[in-house]
Every structure is written in structure tokens, then in C-alpha cells.
Homo-oligomer: A and B are copies of this chain.
Amino acid sequence: MFRFELHKQDGLARLSTFHTPHGPIVMPAFAPVGTLANVKTLEPRDLYAAGAQLVLANTYHLYLRPGHDLVARRGGLHKFMAYDGPLLTDSGGFQVFSLAQRRKLDDDGVTFRSHIDGSIHRFTPERVMEIEQALGPDIAMVLDECPPPLDRRYNEEALRRTHLWAERCRAVHSRADQALFGIVQGGIFEDLRLHSAAFLTQLDFPGYAIGGLAVGETKEEMYATLDFTCPALPEDRPRYLMGVGTPEDIIEAVFRGVDFFDCVLPTRIARNGQLFTPNGRMNMRNAQYAEDERPVQEGCQCYTCRTFTRAYLRHLYKAGEISALRLGTIHNVTFMLSLMREVRAAIAAGRFGEFRSLFLARFRITDQATRHAQRELRAAARKL
């Protein structure tokens, strides 16, 4: 039911397809995040229109509400959220470590309090597999521990547990219509990442994620980590960089051999009034747009750009209208998915290196201080 095809390589960048029971994912691909079985403000028809190929939902959040059993009784996540394309759930591990209150960790699993009502819950590898199999996405993730990327001691200890848990997840996972992916951890440390990649490869997962990045390290540290991690992963399996990210980070990660991504960034910043253009982000609340008759992005085919002026969108944002959040989200998700389409075309044409240079020359990356604030926002955002 699952099959990976590597069509073409351009440098380290890969054009490939991962076939799932709900259709193919042509990669490099970006997955919008639908935390609670809903990409915030969007409907399935909006995701189809924008060209989404994969949508992520969060196990931790859905386990707490409405509950995985309820979703299973409704026929599973696809039917529940009326979305017919490929879905992926994370393992909930990241949220347990970043969002839940007061957790207690041991080799067998982790006990935590819900961030909603303080109730006590326990995740073990077996329990998480039960939950993800009940939810029923096309791709499920193993339970892992996600330590601060620069803390060597913590990463050594966590990696031991992450590998134990990966083995146990692999042992109990049984749904043939669901692919279970392993997650490589090890912070920014080359020996740990190589060890993790080797250990997980030996468990023969149908796909591999790189976890524990974009959570506090610099861009340079993240890129360096990808430089030594990607070549250590099997060539014939999809590679997923979790929680990334900005357009420039995605371009840099594709350049280093990553196949797909998820991030709340485009949806989250849209709700703050920040919209993507090929020149960088624009803040729609700025006074300079008050009388601007142009669309957010000339040539963009999204409903927002085809229909409304910047002046109108600024009015909606300034007036606090809910519609602003949605129209901004439609644009930002369309921007990301169009960017991935251009990335795929560039690899197909054997000119991804040139595409990368041109994109990065034009796309205004915000300064170091703002980037730091954004990283913090991104880390916080992944909790939601």
C-alpha cells in the first residue's frame, strides 16, 4: 500500500513520490497543520484548491479532545474531518514535553497532566500506537523524546529512550494501511545523529523523520545537522523534517536532501496579519497598505489574491474581522504549496541550485533579532 519512488536527484535535492492509501504525495512537499483535525480557518475544499498533498494532525490534542476512541467510532480521522487526502499524525511526544503540565518520565513511558483540565494521562509506546491506529492517518510517528538540541548529556540519555521506544512502537504497530515512521534524534551532535540514523535504519521503517530541530538552535546549526544527517538515512525512504518551517529553511533543507515538511508557521502568522510574498513577509496591518489597490501577491492564484485588495484586507485585520484570519491563511498556505510546486519543477529541470540562489536573493529574511523571536514563536506555535 506504500511505495516510495525516487524520480530524480539534482545535487542532493530529490524529486520523489510516496504512495499512500489516500493518494500519492509528490515531494518535496509541505504539510499544513490541522492540530485538532482542522487546519485553522480552512475547509477541506480550501486545502484541495491550494494543492495540499498531506495534512498533519496532532495526536496529543486529538487524544485529549474529542478523544481517539470517538474519532475511531466516527470512522477515523479522514471521515471525521471530511478530508480525503493523505494524513499524518505526530506521536504526541513533542506536545507532552512542550505543552503538558508536570510530566514524569521513565523508560517505560511518560505521565503528564493535560494542559486543558490538569487531568492525568500516560503515554507509552504501546499506548501511542493504539491511539494513532485508532485515529487512522496514512502516516503515524513513533513516540520520541525531543530534548533541547544543544544539551549533550540530555540528548544522550533521551536518545537511548527514544530508541527503546522506537523498537517497541515498531513491534506493536500492525495496521497495514498505515506507515509508521521512525524519528532520528540527537540534537546538533553528529555522532548521536549518525548513531540514531543507523539504529533506526536497522529497524527498517518505511520512512524517517528528523526531529528535534527548529526548536532553539541557529539556522547554521540546523543546516549543519542536516548536512550530516541526511546522507546517513536510507536513499529509498522518504525523509521528513518535523516542524520546519520558514520558506528559506525549507529551501535549504530540500537542498540537503529532505523530502517533506510540516509547520504551523504559514497558518499561525496569517492570523497575526503577516503574509508571504516572494520578497518576504508583509504585515497587512501596516498603514502603507491602507489605500493599496494591489492584491497581496501579483499573479497568486489563491481566492484572496484573485478577489481582494490589500486595502480591504488591511481594513479587515485592523477591524478585527474573523474573515481576515481566514483570507490571510488561504494566501499563506497557497504560497507555501506553490513554492513547493516550483521547487519540484526546478528539480525536475535540473536547476534547483539556481532556483535556490534566486529565491534566497529575493526573499527578504528578517534580521537576526527577529529571527530569534520567530524561532521562539515557532517553538511556541508548535505547541498549538
Interface residue? A303 (CB, 8 A)? yes
Tell me the chain A residues, 66-87 only, with Cβ under 8 Å from chain B.
66, 70, 73-74, 80-82
Interface residue? A291 (CB, 8 A)? yes
CB atoms of A307 and B44 under 8 A apart:
yes
Per the bound structure, the CA–CA distance linking A323 and B82 in Å amounts to: 13
Contacts of A290 in B (CB 8 A): 66, 70
Interface residue? A294 (CB, 8 A)? no
Which residue of A37, A74, A314, A315 has the most chain B CB atoms within 10 A of its CB atom? A315
Report which of B42, B66, B314 forms a contact with A315, defined as CB distance below 8 A.
B66
A290 CB, min distance to chain B CBs, angstroms: 7
Interface residue? A151 (CB, 8 A)? no
- Known contacts A80-B311, A82-B307; is A321 also within 8 Å of B70 by CB? no
Interface residue? A17 (CB, 8 A)? no
Interface residue? A102 (CB, 8 A)? no
Q: For A316, give the chain B residue with the smallest CB separation.
A: B38
CB atoms of A65 and B315 under 8 A apart:
yes
Contacts of A263 in B (CB 8 A): none
Per the bound structure, the CA–CA distance linking A44 and B303 in Å amounts to: 11
Tell me the chain A residues, 284-319 only, with Cβ under 8 Å from chain B.
290-291, 293, 303, 307-309, 311-312, 314-316, 318-319
Interface residue? A153 (CB, 8 A)? no
Interface residue? A146 (CB, 8 A)? no
Contacts of A66 in B (CB 8 A): 290, 311, 314-315, 318-319
- Known contacts A45-B303, A74-B293, A82-B307; is A36 also within 8 Å of B315 by CB? yes
Which residue of A70, A323, A326 has the most chain B CB atoms within 10 A of its CB atom? A323
Mark interface residues in A318-358 (1 if CB within 8 Å of B CB, else 0).
11011101110000000000000000000000000000000
Interface residue? A43 (CB, 8 A)? yes
CB atoms of B323 and A43 under 8 A apart:
yes
Contacts of A315 in B (CB 8 A): 36-37, 65-66, 80
Report which of B81, B308, B318, B325 forms a contact with A312, defined as CB distance below 8 A.
B81
Interface residue? A168 (CB, 8 A)? no
Interface residue? A41 (CB, 8 A)? yes
Interface residue? A22 (CB, 8 A)? no
CB atoms of B323 and A41 under 8 A apart:
yes
CB atoms of A82 and B319 under 8 A apart:
no
CB atoms of B321 and A36 under 8 A apart:
yes
A217 CB, min distance to chain B CBs, angstroms: 32
Q: For A82, give the chain B residue with the smallest CB separation.
A: B307
Report which of B40, B73, B311 forms a contact with A70, defined as CB distance below 8 A.
B311
CB atoms of A41 and B326 under 8 A apart:
yes
> Mind listing 22 A-B residue pairs with CB under 8 Å?
A36-B319, A37-B312, A37-B315, A38-B321, A40-B323, A41-B322, A42-B323, A43-B303, A45-B307, A65-B315, A65-B319, A66-B315, A66-B318, A70-B290, A70-B311, A74-B293, A74-B309, A80-B309, A80-B312, A82-B308, A82-B312, A322-B326
- Which residues does A use to contact B, with CB under 8 Å? 36-38, 40-45, 65-66, 70, 73-74, 80-82, 290-291, 293, 303, 307-309, 311-312, 314-316, 318-319, 321-323, 325-327
Extra 9 A-B pairs, beta carbons < 8 Å, given A36-B321, A80-B309: A36-B315, A36-B316, A37-B315, A38-B316, A42-B323, A43-B303, A66-B290, A66-B315, A82-B307
The 8 closest A-B pairs by CB, nearest first: A66-B315, A36-B319, A41-B322, A82-B307, A38-B323, A38-B321, A82-B308, A80-B312
